[in-house]
Amino acid sequence: MEVVILNGSKQIARLAADAVEDLLRSKPDAVLGLATGSSPLPVYDELAARHERDGLDFSRASGFALDEYVGLPPGHPESYREVVRREFTNRVNIRPENVHGPDGAAADIPAACSAYEEAIAAAGGVDLQILGVGTDGHIAFNEPGSSFASRTRIKSLIEQTRRDNARFFSSLADVPHHVLTQGLGTIMEARHVILLATGAQKAQAVREFVEGPVAAICPASILQFHPHATVLLDEAAASAL
Shorter beta-carbon distance to ligand GLP: residue 65 or 94? 65
Biggest alpha carbon–alpha carbon distance for the chain: 46
Q: Is 67 in the site for ligand GLP (CB under 6 A)?
A: yes
Given 68, 87, 103, 138, the catalytic residue: 138
Q: What minimum distance in Å lies between the beta carbon of 11 and ligand GLP?
A: 17
Alpha-carbon distance 91 to 135, whole Å? 29
How many Å apart are CA 167 and CA 156, to the nearest integer?
Answer: 19
CB atoms within 10 A of CB 13: 24
Q: Which of 38, 114, 160, 239 binds ligand GLP (CB under 6 A)?
A: 38
CA quadruple 4, 10, 13, 17: dihedral positive or negative? negative
Task: Kindly name the residue from 46, 68, 127, 143 that is annotated as catalytic.
Answer: 143
User: Contact 139/187 with Cβ under 8 angstroms?
Assistant: yes
Quick note: the x/- pattern for ligand GLP over 114-153, rule CB under 6 A, is ------------------xxx-----xx------------
Closer residue to ligand GLP (CB): 92 or 195: 195
**Closer residue to ligand GLP in complex, CB, 162/191:** 162
**Do residues 43 and 17 make contact, with C-beta atoms less than 8 angstroms apart?**
yes
Tell me, what DSSP letter sits at residue 234? Answer: E
Strand residues in 27-113 grouped as ranges (E): 31-34, 62-65, 67-69, 99-100
Candidate list 6, 31, 65, 66; residue touching ligand GLP; CB under 6 A: 66
Please, which residue, 56 or 70, has the CB nearer to ligand GLP?
70
Footprint of ligand GLP on this chain (CB under 6 A)? 35-39, 66-67, 132-134, 140-141, 161, 165
Q: Which residues are catalytic?
A: 67, 136, 138, 143
